[in-house]
Amino acid sequence: MDGRRLRGPLRFGRLAAMIDSLGLTKRFSGRTVVDDVSFRCEPGTVTGFLGPNGAGKTTTLRMICGFSKPDAGTATVLGGAYRELPNPGRRVGVLLDASAQHAGRRGREALRISAETMGVQAERVGQMLELVDLDRAAAKRRVAAYSLGMRQRLGIANALIGDPEVLILDEPANGLDPEGMRWMRGLLREFADRGGTVLLSSHLLREVEAVADQLVIIGGGKIVASGSREELMAKAGTVVRATDAEALESALIYAALKPRSDSNGGFVVDAEPRAVGAAALAGGVVLTHLAAAQDAGLEQLFFDLTSGEQKEENQ
Amino acid sequence: MSTVVTADVRPGRDSRPGPARLTRVELRKMVDTRSGFWLLLAVAALMLLVVVVVQISGNDHDRIISEILSTTAQTGAVLTPVVGILLITAEWGQRTALVTFSLVPHRMRVMLAKILAGLALALVAFAVAFVLSALAVAIAPSAADDTWTLPLSLVGQYALYSVLAMLIGLAFGTAFLSSAPAIVLYFGLPIAIGALGSISAISGAIDWLETGAFAPLTEEIVGGKDWAQVLTAALLWIVLPLAIGLWRIRRNEVK
């Protein structure tokens, strides 16, 4: 009866997720580049790890994959440390840098090397090349002749070759054209819909918001927001415009709401439309527009959340 | 009954890649890049050239198997270690370490495979030298009595020389993790240290420390003091840089 082993899934009294980052912290020469980063990735979901360049995304992913030792916190993949996986390529597909391939090696050969290392059939190489749309001619060429987009495709093929349950991809959309980006989104969605777990990073909200079930936004090494797209959009606030902008502003301030001017002569308010409407009514202001911020707000939120940290860093 | 999907559907998913498989992969990496392929071809061409030149221009004493094999093996031992160097430094220079270590996170297992692959290459190169030399002597035998005289212990010494040269290359590659300094110092440092031997005050000590200590292995069956010097030189040129390099690889982050 006790044949079922609890291989580490119970950690700190909670069930470990497929990927579980708990308080990951990394300092480089006194500067904290990743600061207490915690998030979980569940099976069947795509997690978008978002943040501007230099926010600590790559360092976090490197810690999860055992390339970098955290100064504090832990990361587990499939319930244990990545480096303790006996044959990681068969469980976790990793793409940390598409340029990290030998320039003098042919694309197909690079995949052969990985396939042989993890002990999968050589036929997988051809299948993966087909899957990522690298044709025979491209597969025969040396990686030096590859564009960044082709390297990304090769890297994704390399990550998928072991038929893993988990995918960890760092900026996989870099260098892909819009068509390639759409293709990749479809691929990741399908992977997750079959029960797989995807963690991908990006510095562009647009790249991931359409495919991610969960967004984790990082700025200056800290997680500044996380949740589903809908949850974050709710936080993005309300856009409101009135016939008299000044009167609207004072009404909002009077109601203890904090209006921020947007580019169209209106305001973005961190509150539900209902509260904003009530404030306008109390101030006797005629509204011409009142709506949840939605997409534009999410972008604004992403920008606000991460740009503040950037400024701090630049000082 | 409905089918139950379990991990067993994909055998090998949780079996650690063994040293034999990893060594096979490293051997593959030696020959599947542009640089590795041409280097190995150059080694074979050079050995062939040496055999032909000796057979055409050598006297009867040069054209005996023990002499030809010594020269051919040494020729192989000049360039094959560069393949060994590149096998290690390319992982850092070309940044493939990021892929390699994501598939095999225990870095020392990869390094062991690289060393085993290097040793295999050195022995294969020696075997090729042996075949070429034997063919050359068979095609144009010398008139000397000892044309075919080749004591087994001498063959062993030649092979050991090839292996030691490869190990120095692997050790330098491991210590520097960068192709240019590793290759330059692999060729330059022995010359520099050897030159110090001309200073009479320290020449006695240099005999124990220079790679020249390996040279007697290619000349005649060596005795006790020679073996001791082979050992001390091996400690300095192989064990020390290898230890420093492996310690760094274990400790440092892969960029």
A49-106, pLDDT tens digit by residue?
999 999 999 999 999 999 999 999 999 999 999 999 999 999 999 999 999 999 999 9
Query: pTM here?
Result: 0.88
Nearest to A68 among B14, B22, B253 (CB): B253
Res B243: pLDDT: 98
Residue B2, pLDDT score: 41
Comparing B18 with A260, which gets the higher pLDDT? Answer: B18
- Binary contact (A112, B104; C-beta < 8 A): no
Max intra-chain CA distance, chain A:
73
Contacts of A69 in chain B (CB under 8 A): 253
> Residue B98 and residue A119: Cβ atoms within 8 Å?
no
What integer pLDDT is reported at residue A33 of this predicted model? 96
Best mean pLDDT range from A7-11, A238-242, A296-300, B100-104 = B100-104
Read off the pLDDT band of A313 (50, 70, 90): very low
The interface pTM score, or ipTM, of the predicted complex is 0.90
**Torsions phi, psi for A204 (to 5 deg):** -115, 115
Closest Cβ–Cβ partner in B16, B28, B32 for A87: B16
Asked if the model's pLDDT at residue A7 lies above 80, the reply is no
A284-303: b (≥16 Cβ within 10 Å) or e: ebeeeebeebeeebbebbbe
Q: What confidence score (pLDDT) does residue B197 get?
A: 87
- CB contact under 8 Å between A87 and B17, yes or no, is yes
Binning pLDDT at 50, 70 and 90, where does residue A265 land? confident
Q: What is the pLDDT along chain B (255 residues), one digit of tens a residue?
A: 344 444 445 677 889 999 999 999 999 999 999 999 999 999 999 999 999 999 999 898 889 999 999 999 999 999 999 999 999 999 999 999 999 999 999 999 999 999 999 999 999 999 999 999 999 999 988 888 899 999 999 999 999 999 999 999 999 999 999 999 999 999 999 999 989 988 888 888 999 999 999 999 999 899 999 999 999 999 999 999 999 999 999 999 888
Domain boundaries, given as residue ranges, for chain B: 18-139+147-251
Phi, psi of A175 (to 5 degrees): 85, -5
Residues A203-235 pLDDT 10s: 988 888 889 999 999 999 999 989 998 888 777
B5, B6, B9, B13, best to mutate vs chain A, most A CBs in 10 Å: B13
Chain B positions in Cβ-Cβ contact with residue A108 (cut-off 8 Å): none
Closest residue in A to B32 (Cα–Cα)? A105
**Confidence at residue B10, expressed as pLDDT on a 0 to 100 scale:** 67
pLDDT computed for residue A271 by the predictor = 85
- Judged against a pLDDT cut of 50, whether residue A3 lies above it is answered with no
Q: Phi-psi category of A49—alpha, beta or left, where left has phi over 0 and alpha has psi -120 to 50? A: beta
The predicted structure's pLDDT at residue A312? 44
Q: How far apart are CA B80 and CA B172, in angstroms?
A: 13
Looking at chain A, the whole-number percentage of residues with pLDDT higher than 90 is: 71
How many Cβ atoms are within 10 Å of A179's Cβ, its own excluded?
Answer: 10
For the beta carbon of residue B53, count every other beta carbon within 10 angstroms.
11
Average predicted confidence (pLDDT) for chain A: 89
Q: What is the pLDDT of residues A105-152, one digit of tens each?
A: 999 999 999 999 999 999 999 999 999 999 999 999 999 999 999 999
Q: Residue A14: what pLDDT?
A: 55
pLDDT single digits (tens) A161-185? 999 999 999 999 999 999 999 999 9
Buried b / exposed e across A209-245, counting CB within 10 Å, b at 16+?
A: bebbbbbbbbbbbbbbbbeebeebbbebbbbbbbeee
Give the orientation angle of helix B65-93 with respect to helix B19-31, to 10 degrees: 100
- Domains (ranges, CATH) in chain A? 10-228 (3.40.50.300), 233-314 (3.30.70)
Contact A116 B21 (CB under 8 A): yes
Q: Give the three-state DSSP class for A24.
A: strand
